[in-house]
Each structure stands twice: as C-alpha cells, then as structure tokens.
Structure 1
Amino acid sequence: MKIPKRIQPLVEEGLVDAVVRQLMSGKEATVYVVRCGDDIRCAKVYKEAAQRSFRQAASYQEGRKVRNSRQARAMEKGTRYGRKMQEEVWQNAEVDALYRLAAAGVRVPRPHICFEGVLLMDLVTDARGEVAPRLNDVELTEALALTYHACLLRQVVLMLCAGVIHGDLSEYNILVDADGPVIIDLPQAIDAAGNSEAGPMLERDAANLASYFSRFAPQLADTQYGKEIWALYGAGLLTPETVLSGRVATDDRPADVGAVMREIALARKEEEERLRREQDMREANAVSWSYR
C-alpha cells in the first residue's frame, strides 16, 4: 500500500521497508502492519491532540516528568511549544512504560523505537501467525475465563511491582496470542508512586477485568482484587509471587469517638499554646525595641 506520510521518515531512515496494510484506527492512534527487513512489525502512528477522542485528563498527567522547568512552564501556559512538549510527554509515556514492563516480564509488545511520533514494536500474533484477536473477540468458557483472569491479575501485579498502572485496562486493549493475554495501549499509563489517583485507577483496572470475566465465570463478580492488591502494595507486602484471595478484611469494630474527640481537643490546645507563645514573643520584641 501507499506509505502514509507519518511513516515516510522511518522509511527514509531505513527503519521500515514497506507498509503491508492498515491494522486498525482507534481513539489515540492508527496502527499499520509494516515490514522491517525479514521481520513483520507494527507501527503505531499517534494522532494529533485535536484528532484524539481520548483527552489527557489531569489525573493521567500527574506525576509525569519533563526535562526542565522551561518545558513545565510552557506546558502550564499552553503555548505552542508547551503543546508540543505535552505531545512528546504523552507519547513517551507509552514508550517508557513498554520498556519498563517488558524488562519486568510483563506480557506487552516489545518496543523497538519511537521516531517522529511513530512507535515501532512487535506485532502480536496468534498460534497461526495471524494478527492476534482482542480479548472481547475471543470465545470463552468458564475455565478459560478463570485462567485468563488469573493471568491478567498476575500481569497487573507485575506492572505495579514495576511501578506502573495501566489506567485504562479493559477487554478492548488486551490481545490474545498463542500463549495467552497480552496488554496493549499504554499512553495513559501512570507512575504508581507519583500520582494521587493511582489507587483508584488500579482498583478500576481490576474491577474492569472482574466485570468482563464474570460474564463467563459469575464467581468473579463480587471479588475485590483491586483493593487487595493496592492494600498489599501500600503495606510494602506485594511481590510477583503474592497469592491473592480477592477478599479484603473489613474492620467492624465501632469507632472510638471519644478518642477522636480527645485527639482533636489536644491538637487544638497545642495550637492555642503555639499562638500564645508567638504572641508573647512579639510583645517581648516590641518592648525590646521600645528601649532602644
């Protein structure tokens, strides 16, 4: 097929030899099957901000780093340079996440390079060598649903142990290759330690998995894997080998209202004493200045 304009620079640099066909067009990017020497890969061409239906909510951008304060100020002001930097940060988020996750053993496409807004990575294929289907297009039995759900929970745990949360995980951004589920589409991935919304996003990812797989395995509907995983992570107890139960113990003990009120009263008293000391100090200083 005719080489798309955005992929032409990769052809000129010798990174891509030919474009085989368009694979899909989504809310964030258009993906093409390309030939690179003897290898068949995919090229993800990111759409410009004005063309994307997925907006960069502040909750996803929190904690993402830029090179220097000048870039940060430009992004805050929304200048043309700042918008360019926002695009660069948004695209690099997926590239960085893919490299981190691949190194941690997470089942994601192996990235090769991101050049001029085009991400070149491995093409995920099924047992016949065809393009792998999305999870929502795969027929599932109860047993297979339970197997895939357990596999994906392990991937979520591996991701979190590597400091990454997908943030938009669902049956639509999971492919199924010859060995099972592969997680894709990570431009909205967030840093678990640097984002105040990390916990709710992790829980939402896990809830999305439970909601989908419970169609085939109803026993998953009432599980609480997201809360369990996040609680273990917060306590420093989460490892790739952690065995999950899907249950979170609740504290049913009645709240000690009296103790809470005593703490409030103590804090108020300490604040009053601090203010009184500051006032005494100001008065003492005033007297001292009057004798000079």
Structure 2
Amino acid sequence: MKAPKRLQSLVDEGLIDTVVRQLMSGKEAMVYVVRCGDDTRCAKIYKEATHRSFRQAVDYTENRKVKNTRQARAMAKGSKFGREKQEEAWQSAEVDALYRLAGAGVRVPKPYNFHDGVLLMELVTDENGDAAPRLNDVVFTPEDARRHHATLIAEVVRMLGAGVVHGDLSEFNILLALDGPVIIDLPQAVDAAGNNHAQRMLLRDVDNLRGFFGRFAPELLRTEYGHEIWELFQRGELHPDTPLTGRFKHKAGAVDLGSVLREIDDARDEEAARRLRLQTTQ
C-alpha cells in the first residue's frame, strides 16, 4: 500500500522499506505493519491525545522532568507550543519505558527507533506468524488463565523492579504471543518511586488482571497480589524471584474518603475507556 504521509519520512530515511497494511486504528494511535529489509515490524503513529482528561494527565505526568526550561514554562502555561511539547513528552515516555523495560527483561515489544512521532518496534505474532490478538479477544481454559495470570504478575514485579508502573494495564493492552503474554501501550507509564499515584495505579493494574482472568478461574478473584507486591516493594524486599502468596492482611484504621472517591472516579474512567476501545475495534 502507499505509505501514509506520517510514514513517508521513515521511508525517505531508509528506516522503512514498504508499508504492508494498517493493523489498528484507535483514539491514541494508528499502527501499521511495515517491512524493514527482511524483517516485518510495526509502526505506531501517535495521534493528539484529546481523549485524556486534565486530571488523568496530571496524575500520569507527575514528576516527569523536562530539561528545557523554556519548554517547561510553556507546558505549565498551556500555550500551543507548550501543548505540542507536552504531547512530545507523552510520546517519549512510552519510548523511554519500552527501552527501560526491554533492558530489564520485561515482556514488551522490542523498540527499534522513534522518528517524527512514529515508534518503530517489534511486531508481536501468534503461532501462525500473524499479528497476536489482545487478551480480550481470547477465551481461556481455567488452567491457561491461571498460567497467564501468574506470568503477568511476575512481569508486574519485574516492571516495578525497573522502577516502572504501567498505569493502564488491562486485557486491552496485553497481546497473546506464541510464547505468552506481551505488554504494550506504555505512554502513561509512571515512575514507581517518584509519582504519588504509583501505588494506586499499580493496585488498579493488578486488580484489572485479577478481574479479567477471574472470569475463567474464579479462585483468582480472592487474591490480593497488588497489596502484597507494593508492601514488599516499599520494604525493599521485592525481587523477581520473591515468592508471592496472593494473600494480604489489611490493617484496621480510619477510612481515607478521598482515596475511596478517587477509586470510584478511576473505575468510572476505566469503564468509559473500555467502552471506547471496544467501539474502535468493531
């Protein structure tokens, strides 16, 4: 097919030879299957993220550093230039997270290049060599659900060990490759130690995994991996080989009403996002 305008610069630079087909189109990005020499890869073209609320953007971007003071001031003022730089920073966050996590051995697509707002990375494939499906498109046996859940809990631990929380992990941004689940879509990834919302986001990520796989293996719905993982992390006792039980004893104390309301807002936002993702795939 003819290369889209946004991919033409990569063709001109010799980073892409041909564009094979469009793989996905969503509110955040469009993804194309491309050929690079003898390799088949995918190219993610970012769109302007108008679907994110200001509150969500602030939560996710808290403590992200901008070296250029002029850009930082413009982003704080919300000028057109500032919004452009903020969007560039949002895109770069995924690139940085992918390189960081791939280096730590986390199951994410291997990144190859980032050029003119286009991320060139590994095409995750299934047993037939086709683009791997997302988890929400797959029906699992109880045994497979337990196995993949365990794999992803281990990946959450490995991500946390690399100082990263996904922030939006669910069945919609995990692919089922030939050799197991692969985590994708990381522009909202947050710094585990530097973001005040990291704990809440990690608990939500783990709860999403529990809720999805619990449909196929109901005993998973009784697990408490999120709280267990975070407590071990805070104590400096979390490592990739740390044994987890899925059990956690909550301490009695006053209820934080603000946190409860925030969780309700998050659940509402997550449901709206799920509906939107389903609409874009139909």
Q: TM-score, normalised by structure 1?
A: 0.84
Residue 177 (structure 1) shift: 0.7
Residue 244 of structure 1 is matched in structure 2 by 244
CA deviation digits over 1:123-173, x for unaligned, max 9? Answer: 000111111111111220000000000000000000000000000000010
Residue 177 of structure 1 is matched in structure 2 by 177
SS in structure 1 of the partner of residue 247 of structure 2: coil
SS in structure 1 of the partner of residue 133 of structure 2: coil
1:72, 1:203 → 2: CA distance?
A: 30
1:250, 1:188 → 2: CA distance?
A: 28
Judge conservation of contact 1:166–1:188 (CA < 8 Å) in 2. Answer: yes
Judge conservation of contact 1:210–1:221 (CA < 8 Å) in 2. Answer: yes
The structure with the larger Rg is 1
Alignment of 1:42-191 (within 5 A): 42-50=42-50, 53-55=51-53, 57-191=57-191
Structure 1 runs of 4+ aligned residues shifted over 3 Å read none
1:151, 1:251 → 2: CA distance?
A: 28
Residue 17 of structure 2 is matched in structure 1 by 17
CA deviation digits over 1:234-271, x for unaligned, max 9? Answer: 1111001111111112346x99xxxxxxxxxxxxxxxx
CA deviation digits over 1:78-105, x for unaligned, max 9? Answer: 1222112101110010000000000100
Residue 121 (structure 1) shift: 0.2
Judge conservation of contact 2:27–2:49 (CA < 8 Å) in 1. Answer: no
Judge conservation of contact 1:28–1:54 (CA < 8 Å) in 2. Answer: no
Residue 30 of structure 2 is matched in structure 1 by 30
Residue 176 (structure 1) shift: 0.6
Judge conservation of contact 2:34–2:40 (CA < 8 Å) in 1. Answer: yes
SS in structure 1 of the partner of residue 120 of structure 2: strand
Aligned residues: 252
SS in structure 2 of the partner of residue 2 of structure 1: coil
1:184, 1:211 → 2: CA distance?
A: 19
Judge conservation of contact 1:225–1:246 (CA < 8 Å) in 2. Answer: yes
Q: Which amino acid aligns with 1:126?
A: D
Residue 65 (structure 1) shift: 1.3
CA deviation digits over 1:196-246, x for unaligned, max 9? Answer: 000000000000000000101101112111111111101111001111111
Residue 69 (structure 1) shift: 2.2
Q: Which amino acid aligns with 1:29?
A: A
SS in structure 2 of the partner of residue 24 of structure 1: strand
2:40, 2:133 → 1: CA distance?
A: 17
Judge conservation of contact 1:75–1:83 (CA < 8 Å) in 2. Answer: yes
> Matched residues, percent identical?
64
SS in structure 2 of the partner of residue 221 of structure 1: helix
2:245, 2:72 → 1: CA distance?
A: 42
SS in structure 1 of the partner of residue 128 of structure 2: coil
Q: TM-score, normalised by structure 2?
A: 0.87
- Structure 1, unaligned stretches of length 5 or more? 256-292
